[in-house]
Amino acid sequence: MDNIIELLRQHNLLKIINESVDIDLEIPHIAFIEAKKEDSKALLFLKPVSKRLGKEFHIPVLMNIFSSKEALKLIFGKDPQEISKEIDELMKLRIEAGFRGKAEFFTKLLSLKNIPPKRVGGKGICQEFVKQGDKVNLFNIPILTTWPDDGGAFITMGQVYTQSLDGKLQNLGMYRMQVYDKNHLGVHWQIHKDGMHFFNEYKKENKKMPISIAIGGDPLYIWCAQTPMPYGFFELLLYGFIRNKKAKLIKSLTNPIYVPDDADLVLEGWVNPQNLELEGPFGDHTGFYTPKELYPVMEVTCITSKLEPIYHATVVGKPPIEDKYMGQATARIFLPLLKTTTPELIDYDMPENGVFHNLILAKMKTRYFGHAKQFMHAFWGVGQMSFVKHAIFVGEDAPPLHERESISRFILNRINKESIIISEGICDALDHASPNACYGGKLGLDCTISEIETETKEILGDVELLDKMSILCHEIKDIKQFMTDTKTPVTFISIKKERAVREVFRMLRPVRKHTKLLVFTDAESDDIENLYMLIWKVTNNIDAKRDIFIEDEFFGIDATKKGVLEGYEREWPNVVNCDKNVLERLKKRALIDIDDDFAKRFWI
């Protein structure tokens, strides 16, 4: 960790805060604002304190380390695109004719010897300082409380190491961990994650499960922890491949789990399968609070550290946040692996305001009629791609996927009734829009087709169109039109609903000659001028089977908050927002510098 801090400092990608800042809300709010800046940098807080606990910590807090593409390259040691190319070449590895071809083949083959992690004996760097038994105290670590309505302090960037019941499989994941008391943590293993698969093995045999959480060390471990590796593959194999050296692992002192030798802190312990506690709420990366639910509890039996450790954390919430760049690297590096099961795939992109799993754009080679629809089902069946809620497929003639305005126009010129497929399947456990936890509707758009032929719309100005809509439905408070020069003009409608939006959509049939796609949002909370944040809200708030309306070539999307009007029986979560008093306090201390335009841009 010390090396990357120095690297970031040398490249002017590090801010050092040398005054006392509270671990409860203040440090996370500063990091949340910093992640949204054009010149975003890593933050090193040298004097974290807690008024709640009456403590001054001697462990600095490091945040926003994946702050930019430049920072990402420093952490990886190369451009993620280069790593993608290396993986692609490796997967096509074969012996070419001649001595040179054979030499190149065996050179590449020999380089693979550095991929598997190496277990070493003795005492690790992460074990220079040891606290066991009654001396274990999580409150001596500057673990952050991120959001006003969080259930407590949470570890947000812990590398969670586990192993299967027989010890043959290892897993590295990143799961949030709630602090219950001085030696207990809630483990947020979602139902589809490998950590939960292992947990179920121990539960079936009624045996305690060993677990160790590493914090800090080489930041590449952090990226490896959130990668979508197939079941049974240890994520640190990627570390060895990228670094071209073995990850050096040391055995935990009180359980059989091996962790990186150079970690800053390690929390060791056991999970009793019979012990479940309510975990949450927590303002997660979707930008919404997740509810209280029962999760396993880890008893911390030992805390080890370097002599001068640094506590590494992240902030999750409304985009853009730090995981923007982590996700971009993952998309690049995993493209060759994804192509092995979907060979027609050319490229894909996960817009950060679509919260990654909520929206994916994919470019593919189409070989026959209906190919894209067939491809969608294959796509939804590949590993963590199965969590994707909304997938849009375009052909080889589409502009680059990252050119947002160009690709949006391309898509809107190709949407008709036949291009839409609505399905269902598993979804992320953090998704709140589906009627059932972890299972809901999915939307696929086949935009590999040619530009559609459609009726010409009589486009009106916003004021005139609002007048017509208001006459039809008094619940409509405002409208904003986008992309009116495409074959699918989009109208966002701010509504204070008194009835199900589906009924309002039907009432607006007379305006179909002026627009084609109506998107309904909540008048009391949503700024319909802000397209970036609207996409975030829409992709979070809809379940395709319930909230998409199709009448010939007239479409509606209900992105409002759901409740009894829609027969929604789950608890609809609140949006994650900063504490206004904390923001004002940080402004007065010149620890943040934001104006009204900045706040409006990101719905802060």
Residues marked active site are found at: 284
SS3 call for 248: strand
Q: Is the peptide bond before 142 cis (omega within 30 degrees of 0)?
A: no
According to DSSP, the residues that pair with 177 across neighbouring strands are 155, 187
The encoded tokens of residue 253 equal: 């002192």
Distance of CA 551 to the CA centre of its chain: 34
Residues near 168 by beta carbon (within 8 Å), at least 6 away in sequence: none
The backbone torsions φ and ψ at residue 110, rounded to the nearest 5 degrees and listed phi first, read -65, -30
Apex 555 CA angle, 553 and 560, nearest 5: 175
Whole-angstrom Cα distance, residue 447 to residue 450?
A: 8
Pairing of the two strands 14-17 and 476-482 = unpaired
Whole-angstrom Cα distance, residue 85 to residue 83?
A: 5
Whole-angstrom Cα distance, residue 169 to residue 230?
A: 12
Q: State the alpha helices, DSSP H only, in 340-437.
A: 371-379, 404-412
Q: What is the H or E stretch that residue 599 is in?
A: helix 596-601
According to DSSP, the residues that pair with 118 across neighbouring strands are 248
Distance of CA 227 to the CA centre of its chain: 11
Tokens 């809901």 map to which residue? Answer: 440
The encoded tokens of residue 314 equal: 């992240």
- Give, to the nearest 10 degrees, the angle between helix 69-76 and helix 80-91: 50
Total residues found in the chain within this entry: 604
Count of beta carbons in the 10 Å neighbourhood of residue 91:
11
The encoded tokens of residue 602 equal: 């990101």
Residues near 59 by beta carbon (within 8 Å), at least 6 away in sequence: 48, 141, 142, 265, 309, 310, 311
DSSP conformational letter for 400? P
Whole-angstrom Cα distance, residue 290 to residue 571?
A: 10
